[in-house]
Amino acid sequence: MYSEQNPARHYIALTLVWLLLGAALGLHFPDVDTRFQWLISPRLLLHRSAVTHGLIVPSLLFLSARAKGKAPSFRSFIIGFSLASAVHLCFDFFPRGWVGFALIHVPLYGRTTALFSQAWIMLGMLVCLYLAFLLVRRLIELAFGAGILAASFIVSAAEHAGPVLNALALLLVAVGALVTALRFRKPASGLTR
């Protein structure tokens, strides 16, 4: 319950709730076509569409989160969404084979090649992680973000029987590459407590 005497605790709780909500959606949104087959026409959205699997939706959300006047809760939601989307893509990078529904589908074009699909998923994963990092303003968000990434991975691992170790290795490499790249970037204005 909100307490006037402890706004910091209220802020932390609110941040965590929105991060978790974003993560819950981001983890499963890419496969929205399979979960709502009865609602979504295959002509509109096929499985592993480039629209749902990759950088398009997280980028649009990122741009709207950066718009003036957006509440911090919305930013937390997008951080959670982007991190969980990255984890989803991480697992999707290891299908049983790069054929059929494993390939990225581009509306009006059709299924792409295995190489394009791999590159698209990899790019989407890196962009999702990067956008989430760009939205982080406070140390507590960074800490929660790391926790959300780990929790999303655990949930995905429970849902996917197969490529857990491969997905973990890929995620660690992606995070490591991003952290290394960001070290060469001009120092940000700084995280606040």
- Give the footprint of Zn ion on this chain (CB under 5 A): 30-31, 92
Three-state secondary structure string covering the chain: CCCCCCHHHHHHHHHHHHHHHHHHHHHHHHHHHHHCCCCCCCCCCCCCECCCCCCHHHHHHHHHHHCCCCCHHHHHHHHHHHHHHHHHHHHHCCCCCCCHHHCCEECCCEECCHHHHHHHHHHHHHHHHHHHHHHCCEHHHHHHHHHHHHHHHHHHHHHCCCCHHHHHHHHHHHHHHHHHHHHCCCCCCCCEC
Name which of 30 and 54 has its Cβ closer to Zn ion: 30
Name which of 22 and 95 has its Cβ closer to Zn ion: 95
Give the nearest distance from C-beta 120 to Zn ion in angstroms: 12
Give the nearest distance from C-beta 92 to Zn ion in angstroms: 4
Give the nearest distance from C-beta 51 to Zn ion in angstroms: 12
Name which of 76 and 85 has its Cβ closer to Zn ion: 85
